[in-house]
């Protein structure tokens, strides 16, 4: 049967529409590329509004070359996207047109971009704001941009409904040292108290033991999500894909806890079937669960 005749017989249901506000990571492992691949794999219509372009430098130990997108261009992208899909507060919904009510925030990279994005989020009508609080990329030194970290905490964290900090980010946001599952739980609880958001705090390969352990907390339910570690090496795109998978599932109507569970399975399959890379980290394969 041809595609055309399939479509004629049974038009597919309109997919949920989701937006990622994120940076491009040129090698395709992380950032907006990982988000879009995750969205496609999980059956939602993905949109990326770019905040910056990161190109690792193979001549300089694969350090990050970071170029911000012009603030006006970021604002223009957000204006176009929110107008196209009725995601502006007070905008009437149009019958038959999906409403964009679920957004993921990835790398913002500067206090100026954080201000631009916060303004758009405040003007928008988003039911789900999933924040991957990218304070640091794999291989970078912690604390390289304290002003950016502080602006993210002050302006974006309070707008988030779901937040997915990794080990370093969970320590930074909670102010707690995380050495084991118990301290990861304490950090997740603290970050929920600070933000009001559902929290999926990731231990990943940073905590000792045979399992990659994450902690979910939403103010009522505390759940430890655990899967056998796939090696001890970090994989590029794991954090981006986890948050993007949460975003896709929320947009499709999952509860936050269901979204967290599905996202953990999605990322585990993607790490198991990762793509070998000459960059310092292999890349998660979003098709790994097929
Ligand atoms: O994995 C964090 C991350 C997110 N977004 C972009 C990145 C990185 C890490 O390199 O480059 C654009």
The response to whether residue 54 sits with its C-beta less than 6 Å from ligand 1 reads: yes
Q: Phi, psi at residue 65, to the nearest 5°?
A: -95, 120
pLDDT surpasses 70 at 4: no
Give a yes or no: residue 253 inside a domain.
yes
pLDDT surpasses 50 at 234: yes
Give a yes or no: residue 258 inside a domain.
yes
Each residue's pLDDT tens digit, 237-263: 999 999 999 999 999 999 999 999 999
Question: Coil, strand or helix: which one is 239?
Answer: helix
Where helices occur in 58-140 by DSSP H, the ranges are 71-84, 111-123
Give a yes or no: residue 9 inside a domain.
no
pLDDT: is 95 or 185 the higher one? 185
User: Is 205:168 a contact under the CB 8 Å cutoff?
Assistant: no
pLDDT score of 255? 98
- Structural domain harbouring 56: 14-272
Token duo for residue 201: 């705090």
The response to whether residue 69 sits with its C-beta less than 6 Å from ligand 1 reads: no
Give a yes or no: residue 257 inside a domain.
yes
Give a yes or no: residue 38 inside a domain.
yes
pLDDT surpasses 70 at 27: yes
pTM over 0.85? The answer is yes
pLDDT score of 42? 98
Select from 23, 68, 69, 152 the residue to mutate for testing ligand 1; criterion: most ligand atoms less than 8 Å from CB: 23
From ligand 1's centre to the CA of 205, what distance in Å? Answer: 18
Report the 10 Å Cβ neighbour count for 73.
14
Average pLDDT over every residue of 196-220: 95
B/e letters for 165-182, b = 16+ CB within 10 Å, e = fewer, are bbbbbbbbbbebebeebe
Token duo for residue 194: 């600070």
Report the 10 Å Cβ neighbour count for 208.
9
Q: Quote the DSSP letter at residue 155.
A: I
The response to whether residue 31 sits with its C-beta less than 6 Å from ligand 1 reads: yes
Each residue's pLDDT tens digit, 105-155: 999 999 999 999 999 999 998 999 999 999 866 555 555 678 888 999 999
The response to whether residue 107 sits with its C-beta less than 6 Å from ligand 1 reads: yes
Give a yes or no: residue 256 inside a domain.
yes
CATH code at position 113: 3.40.1190.20
User: Is 221:257 a contact under the CB 8 Å cutoff?
Assistant: yes
Phi-psi region of 112 (alpha: psi -120 to 50; beta: other; left: phi over 0): alpha
pLDDT score of 139? 56
CA dist., res. 89 & res. 288, Å (int): 37
pLDDT score of 83? 93
Taken in order 67, 70, 75, 80, the sign of the CA dihedral is negative
How many domains does the chain divide into?
1
Give a yes or no: residue 5 inside a domain.
no
Which residue's C-alpha comes closest to atom 4 of ligand 1?
A: 31
Give a yes or no: residue 31 inside a domain.
yes
Report the 10 Å Cβ neighbour count for 64.
17
User: Is 277:283 a contact under the CB 8 Å cutoff?
Assistant: yes
């Amino acid at each position: 049967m041809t595609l055309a005749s399939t479509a004629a017989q049974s038009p597919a249901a309109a997919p949920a529409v989701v937006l990622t506000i994120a940076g491009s990571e040129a090698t395709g492992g992380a950032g907006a590329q990982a988000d879009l691949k995750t969205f496609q794999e999980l059956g939602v219509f993905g949109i990326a509004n770019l905040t910056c372009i990161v190109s690792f430098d193979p001549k300089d130990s694969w350090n990050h070359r970071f170029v911000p997108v012009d603030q006006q261009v970021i604002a223009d992208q957000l204006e176009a996207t929110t107008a196209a899909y009725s995601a502006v507060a007070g905008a009437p919904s149009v019958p038959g047109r999906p409403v964009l009510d679920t957004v993921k925030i990835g790398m913002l990279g500067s206090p100026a971009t954080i201000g631009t994005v916060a303004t758009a989020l405040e003007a928008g009508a988003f039911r789900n704001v999933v924040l991957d609080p990218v304070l640091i990329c794999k291989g970078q030194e912690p604390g390289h941009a304290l002003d950016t970290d502080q602006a993210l905490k002050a302006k974006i964290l309070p707008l988030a409904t779901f937040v997915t900090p990794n080990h370093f980010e969970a320590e930074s946001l909670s102010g707690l040292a995380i050495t084991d599952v118990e301290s990861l739980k304490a950090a997740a609880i603290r970050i929920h108290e600070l933000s009001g958001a559902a929290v999926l705090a990731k231990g990943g390969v940073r905590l000792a033991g045979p399992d990659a352990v994450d902690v979910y907390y939403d103010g009522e339910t505390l759940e430890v999500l655990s899967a056998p570690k796939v090696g001890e090496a970090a994989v590029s795109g794991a954090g981006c894909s986890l948050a993007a998978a949460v975003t896709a599932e929320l947009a499709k109507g999952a509860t936050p806890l269901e979204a967290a569970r599905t996202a953990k399975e999605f990322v585990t399959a993607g790490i198991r079937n990762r793509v070998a890379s000459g960059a310092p980290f292999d890349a998660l394969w979003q098709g790994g669960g097929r």
